[in-house]
Structure 1
């Protein structure tokens, strides 16, 4: 296992962190999963108030006795932004109680996803007042934020200089947030990548087309290596439901150097194949088509279409597309069938894409079943 400095927190975190959302699918395995993760070198566990009973399960495991000294295990929980300090104080107290902890190594403002959330964070007497009090009292040591928001919002939150780390989405198949990683690095913030296996493409169950294009690497391995080759990224979330699911991700936990020529070749093959298959229908993700009068997240819809056509990632596309209109600020935007063909987007597109037609095609390919987030807001 490799370890990296988590920005100005000065914590040295394992390059993989144990996420605790999925272990709730098999709560009887929680203690065994935590034990195995620590034995394999993971020294950072991340949970959240919003992850059902995750804090309680982790707290019960902590109460049984950690296999390493508390000072060697870094624990993060996340609490949603609140409009007032009193609510945040209560939430911090509840989380510490559930976790059986005297202090949190890191507290993340969970889901800083809207401009209103950012206003709450910046407001005098808002949630950050309670966080600062907890830091002064030694009950919280470091503060950061997690986000599913737009790039502009993420950059604005980083530029408040209120935070020491950021948790965000960034993968080989979604590179939109690279400027946020670069700004975080310039601010000496730690960078935590959310769900690279699942949100990054459901890469634990890849299509045969993707397997063949990534050979001799697995798609999951190649995505992990793409991320770990970036020195500005501190740690990647791995969220096993059972101890056995740690094996494949951690097989690359000691390979965090530059990409090898073979890995670069595989990534170039993916890019060339996508360009060939999509040809003049490829959306390059410039985001210039926004805003849409019907609030359709056009670039994200067309990204999912790109992946479905180029790499047969239809299952992933349907999974993510089904979140539209069902996940609130965690995955905002309307489905593509809301398009009225008003044409507002057409002159904005530098590639002259027939966007309304592509949206219609994307909806037909991806409409599947609607989905919701695993846990509530």
Structure 2
């Protein structure tokens, strides 16, 4: 989704990926010219199909005929007769899941497999835990792509549930949406020492059993982490566990008694404010110096449709409903107001939208 400025850029990234031992390429029609450039790269590099796993995606909600035409167009752009994996791109709302299980989406996915155009069917989701649980329990999907990050572990139990059921799990953007870990602030570098933040975060996910980690390369040099982490699966070492413990302790020390424990006892909010998600960003900004990342995410709220939260901290009406439920006695309305003052900034455009 990032190597899309030219066919030459895509070819260079794909060539470097193959050299690094990567065998899974994931794209989508929604990523601008990505499929066109990737198809050209595959043809020019003459890669035998059996050497790669190829995944693309379709947005939910289309009727059967339109979905069939979109899938055929993806195959044509990629220059292949079959996808290994087809994902519902952004299964974020209940109506998206209904479409995939009972509506035109169910017919589309069934047709694609029956015609031999795709191998397994899965989904990516930025939705709620309850929605993802429903999707995993449906027995319809062979894999899922979820936000699984060292600094956002809410969905890790879902990943374990999926893996136990034989469902493949891909972590969405551990380096970028997981905290811009390719450009860590000094506090975070210190907190993770002697390890760099990005490989420590990847190792955390590998040790949790996550099947596939994404790299999101825009240039060949971005794939250096794939080389460095080759064969780096298995349990966390004692040194890695100690580093993660120091990381947690450092964040707690800087936040003091105002650290949000992410227990979610404050929910539901009568005003539908996503309190834990907002206070998690505050935790990262004040606890680990990750203000640029936290501000970037905060200022996408309400501007990314169903791909991210709809309400920011300014939607808090100070009703106090959350206060008696917080086991730590946090002054939640005050913390939300402080979070808004800290992170609110002019909006930035999403990479894809």
Q: 1:337 aligns with which of 291, 295, 314?
A: 314
- Equivalent pair of 1:87/1:127 in contact (CA under 8 Å): no
Show CA shifts across 1:47-72 (max 9, x none). Answer: 01211111111111123243x42111
CA distance in structure 1 between the aligned counterparts of 2:50 and 2:200, rounded to whole angstroms: 33
What TM-score comes out, normalization by structure 1 length? 0.91
Q: Distance in 1 between matches of 2:227 and 2:317?
A: 47
TM-score of the two chains, using structure 2 as the length reference = 0.97
Question: Counterparts of 1:25-64 in structure 2 under 5 Å?
Answer: 25=5, 27-64=7-44
Q: Could you tell me how far 1:310 is from its partner in structure 2?
A: 0.8
Helix, strand or coil: the match of 2:16?
helix
Aligned to 2:80: 101
Paired residues of 2:7 and 2:40 also in contact (CA < 8 A): no
Q: Distance in 1 between matches of 2:69 and 2:268?
A: 38
Q: Deviations over 1:151-179 (max 9, x none)?
A: 11111111111000000011110100012
Tell me which of 195, 204, 209 is aligned to 2:182: 204
SS at match of 1:145: strand
Separation in structure 1 between the aligned mates of residue 244 and residue 259 of structure 2, nearest angstrom: 17
Aligned length: 353
**CA distances 1:340-360 after superposition (whole Å, capped 9, x unpaired):** 111122222222211110001
Aligned-pair distance for 1:253? 2.0
The CA distance in 1 between the partners of 2:70 and 2:62, in whole Å, is: 13
The within-5 A match list for 1:331-370 is 331-370=308-347
Higher relative contact order (CA 8 A, sep 6+): 1
Q: Distance in 2 between matches of 1:43 and 1:189?
A: 19
For the Cα contact (< 8 Å) 1:174–1:200, is it kept in 2? yes
Q: Distance in 2 between matches of 1:298 and 1:288?
A: 10
| Offset at residue 228 of structure 1 (A) | 1.0
Equivalent position of 2:106 in the other structure: 128
| CA deviation after TM superposition for structure 1 residue 30, in Å | 0.8
Find the partner of 1:243 among 215, 220, 223: 220
Q: Corresponding residue for 1:74?
A: 53
Quote the residue 1:310 is aligned against: 287
Give per-residue Cα distances to partners, 1:30-89, cap 9 Å, x unaligned: 1011011011110000001211111111111123243x4211111000111125322221
1:277 maps to which of 254, 269, 280: 254
Aligned partner of residue 342 in structure 1, secondary structure: coil
Runs of 4+ in 1 over 6 A off after TM superposition: none
* Range 253-262 or range 23-32, more displaced: 23-32
Q: 1:367 to 1:94 in 2, by over 3 A?
A: same
Unaligned runs of 5+ in 2: none
1:323 matched residue in structure 2: 300
Q: Is the 8 A contact 2:159 2:169 kept in 1?
A: yes
CA RMSD of aligned residues (A): 1.4
Tell me whether 150-159 or 88-97 shows the greater mean CA deviation. 88-97
